Structure formats: structure tokens, C-alpha cells
Copies of this chain bind each other. A is one copy, B any other.
Amino acid sequence: MLLDQATPEQLREWESQLSQEYDAIVGKKLNLDVTRGKPSADQLDLSDALDGILDGNYVAANGTDTRNYGGIDGIPEAKRLGSDLMSVPADNILVGGNSSLTLMHQTMLTAYYFGLSGADSAWKNIDAPKVICPVPGYDRHFTVCEQLGIEMVTVPMTATGPDMDAVETLVKSDSRIRGMWCVPKYSNPTGVVYTDETVERIAKLGLIAHADFRVFWDNAYAVHDLVKSPATLASVFDLCNKHGTADSVVQFASTSKITHAGAGVAFVAASTTNLNGLKAFLGACTIGPDKVNQLRHARFLPNRDALMGHMAKHAALLQPRFDAVLSALSSAFDGTDLGNWETPEGGYFVSFDTRPGCAKETVRLAAEAGVKLTPAGATFPYGKDPEDRNIRIAPSVPSVDEVVGAMEVFVTCVKLASVRQALTR
């Protein structure tokens, strides 16, 4: 199916066929949901040993009674877990509560109102500070900026990471640029792993950006590989040290998609300056994070091998679901002009770009046929996809059969929306 070369007659014929197929699907009264980037119950079961793992021993290796107050930056064995996960020295890691989003919010709020390196560095000191957002991206990143009233400037995501020419031009030409969001591995939603060149160019932004510029490096899928020999992500920590830009990147991660999504442990990895800035803020917010849960996680995942072995079990559950999505897209759209997608080797999403102007209608058609998709536009700031193209597919929760069923609907809806739009030109 190549719409750009089709005659009006062909389009009308396709429309008629597809409408019949679609009506047949609606008649099935499906109820499927591929909206949520969260683990399935089977995945959560993998970590059920967490509750009870302490066996009455609540004392950390350094003698800390994890049950009591204190320890704003976490216990040493939890920092070790963070180090295994993020490949950053444990000394540069702060361990928080159950949510890396909370740590990101707190870090950006600190940068904005209080300054990560003293009051003079607060972004609010200038009019209209701006943050670069590669798009499509993660809606919750955008929400943080929106709540704080921080202007978002978009740059395109490519198959190698953010369009770095665009990023560098912005950073050089606009002194109000103060930050940038990144999901460097299995990017949400496109599934791309930033190439070594991209990571190094990001590490060098600190050389050309304002001193208070910070990259928010949300490494949410650091060890969330689906394939045996996945692409590796270069160490932005090492590259920043190489280029003398250690303060310009703050990294985040969590065990949310490793153990129990809502009851895990979250981490920040950063320079001493940034950690001190964040701790100054946290010191007024809390007497300390839940160290008991940190200890549970440290005992459950005692070293890097245990962590990677555990992730292989997740991959075994996730891979057939991703295969179902990708083979459906491939057989429906290879060689057509109906859409584009990446083939992620990890993470939680497949991102599909329809022809311009077809995403909303595709999502609407799918909803009416009983398949819930993430709202079109959600992957853009303020929910507005300027070309109305991007749709995020999250196959982790439904069963493989359900994913297969949802993709049959999805494919039909993309085709129908595309053909109907082509007919109006």
C-alpha cells in the first residue's frame, strides 16, 4: 500500500475494504489496553521475595539501624546497588525513596528555585529559563516543566538520539537554555539507544552552555535489555569527567521496572556540587528515605550479576510481547508509506509515526474498536504533537495473545485513518 502513488479509485476501494474489516473488529467488542509502561503481574512476581527478605536483620553492613530516622543520602549497600545499575561510583550516588520521578522533580525544583550550586545559580533569577525536550519524549518530564512554569523547547529525536546539531545551536544561541531532558537508553518512547557520539556531544555541552545548565539524564532503562547482545550506552559520567563538565549532567534511575514498580528504590548520580545542592533541599523536606526498603533491595540484588540475571527473567517475559508488536508492524507496513518505527532492543515502548495528521484519528478508531492507546500527543509538551503523527505502544501488561489482538486492530486503524485522509486531498 503506497498511498502517495494511489489513484482515487484505488483509495476508494481500499477505504471500502478497510471499513468492512474495521466494522468486523468493532463487532468483536474487544477490551484491550496497550497504554501503560508498567510491568505485568508476572514480572512483579519475580521480586516477591522482597517482603520478608530481611529475616529480622534490619542492620546495614556499616551498623546503621535502618529502622530509625536519618541518612539523607541512603545506606552504603543501596549506593552499591545504584552503582551496579548506573555504572557510576557509589560515592556519587544518593539513594532516595520509591520514585525517580520524585528525585527528578526535586532536582529541577531545586535548580529552579534554590539553585544546585548556591542561590545565585537558581534558574528563577532570569526571565523565562528554558529546557530542551527531545520529542517524542516522556510526558511526565514535560509535566514537571509545565508545573514549574519552565518553557520547553523541542528538538527532534533521531535514530542516534536527540538531533545534536539542533541542541548545540540552541545552547550556543540562547543563554536562557538551562536544562535538557534525556532518556538515553531505550528512549521513551522511541526505544533508541544514544550513540557514543551523541553521548560525547552531550557531555561536551557543559563547555558551551551556561554554568547553570543541567542535563537531566533519566536512565530509566539502564539494564532493561530485550536481546542478548544489546547496544551499550557510553558512560556520560566518564565523558563529563574527561571534558571537565561533571556538574552539567545529573543522572537518575530506579528499581521500579526491576523489582516492584511502586515500591522500589530510586537513585541520583551526580557530582559532589550537585549532590550537595540537592541534599540542601532534601534536608528541609525529610529526615531521610526508607532505609529498610533500601536494605531489602540491596539484599535481593547483592551484585551486578544478580541484577543482570534478574533482568534476563524480565526479558523472557517481555520479548514475545515486543515481537508481537514488531512483527505486526513489519508485515503490515514494510514497503508502504503508512508509517515509520524503530526496533527497540529494550525498554517498554514501541513508537510509531503515522503519516502526518493521522495519529489522533488512529487512536480514536482504535478506542471505538475496544483498544486503548496512549492519547496521541502525549509524547509532546502540552500534549500537542505539531504533526499529529506519534503513537506510543506499550505491550508489557497484556498477554501475548492480547498484544496480537491489539495490533490487528492497530494496523487496521492506521490503514483506515491514512486512506480516509488521503481521500480528502
- Of A23-31, A287-295, A384-392, A414-422, the one contacting chain B is A287-295
- The complex places the Cα of A147 from the Cα of B292 at a distance, in Å, of 28
- The complex places the Cα of A105 from the Cα of B55 at a distance, in Å, of 34
Partner of A262, one of B51, B102, B144, B288: B288
- Which B residues are in CB contact (< 8 Å) with A291? 262-263
Instruction: Given A98-B289, A99-B286, A262-B71, answer yes or no on A56-B48 (Cβ-Cβ < 8 Å).
Output: yes
User: Any chain B CB within 8 A of the CB of A404?
Assistant: no
A residues 252-293 touching B (CB-CB < 8 Å): 256, 260-263, 281, 283-293
- The complex places the Cα of A335 from the Cα of B3 at a distance, in Å, of 99
CB distance from A118 to the nearest CB of B (A): 14
- Which B residues are in CB contact (< 8 Å) with A310? none
The answer to whether B292 and A51 have CB atoms under 8 Å apart is yes
User: Any chain B CB within 8 A of the CB of A69?
Assistant: yes
Partner of A260, one of B36, B68, B102: B68
The answer to whether B48 and A51 have CB atoms under 8 Å apart is no
Specify which of A48, A54, A102, A146 lies most central, judged by the most chain B CB atoms within 10 Å of its CB.
A102
User: Any chain B CB within 8 A of the CB of A211?
Assistant: no
CB distance from A90 to the nearest CB of B (A): 20
- Which B residues are in CB contact (< 8 Å) with A288? 99, 262
Q: 0/1 per residue, A55-85, Cβ < 8 Å to B?
A: 1101000000111111100000000000000
- Which B residues are in CB contact (< 8 Å) with A332? none
- Which B residues are in CB contact (< 8 Å) with A114? 147
Instruction: Given A38-B68, A44-B67, A262-B69, answer yes or no on A97-B51 (Cβ-Cβ < 8 Å).
Output: no
The answer to whether B105 and A284 have CB atoms under 8 Å apart is yes
CB distance from A386 to the nearest CB of B (A): 23
User: Any chain B CB within 8 A of the CB of A214?
Assistant: no
User: Any chain B CB within 8 A of the CB of A143?
Assistant: yes
Q: 0/1 per residue, A30-60, Cβ < 8 Å to B?
A: 0000001011010010011001111110100
Copy count, this protein chain: 2
User: Any chain B CB within 8 A of the CB of A314?
Assistant: no
User: Any chain B CB within 8 A of the CB of A176?
Assistant: no
User: Any chain B CB within 8 A of the CB of A296?
Assistant: yes
Partner of A39, one of B58, B68, B283: B68
The answer to whether B290 and A263 have CB atoms under 8 Å apart is yes
Residue of B nearest to A142 (CB): B284
- The complex places the Cα of A345 from the Cα of B119 at a distance, in Å, of 43
Specify which of A52, A54, A69 lies most central, judged by the most chain B CB atoms within 10 Å of its CB.
A69
- The complex places the Cα of A49 from the Cα of B113 at a distance, in Å, of 42
Residue of B nearest to A147 (CB): B284
User: Any chain B CB within 8 A of the CB of A308?
Assistant: no
The answer to whether A98 and B290 have CB atoms under 8 Å apart is yes
- Which B residues are in CB contact (< 8 Å) with A146? 284
The answer to whether B54 and A286 have CB atoms under 8 Å apart is no
Instruction: Given A263-B290, A290-B262, answer yes or no on A44-B68 (Cβ-Cβ < 8 Å).
Output: yes
Chain A residues in contact with chain B, CB under 8 A? 36, 38-39, 41, 44, 47-48, 51-56, 58, 65-71, 97-99, 101-102, 105-106, 113-114, 140, 143-144, 146-147, 256, 260-263, 281, 283-293, 296
What would be 8 A-B contacts, judged by CB atoms less than 8 Å apart?
Answer: A41-B65, A41-B68, A67-B261, A69-B256, A70-B262, A99-B287, A262-B291, A263-B293
Chain A to chain B: the 7 pairs with minimum beta-carbon distance, closest first: A52-B52, A263-B292, A67-B260, A147-B284, A44-B67, A98-B290, A105-B285
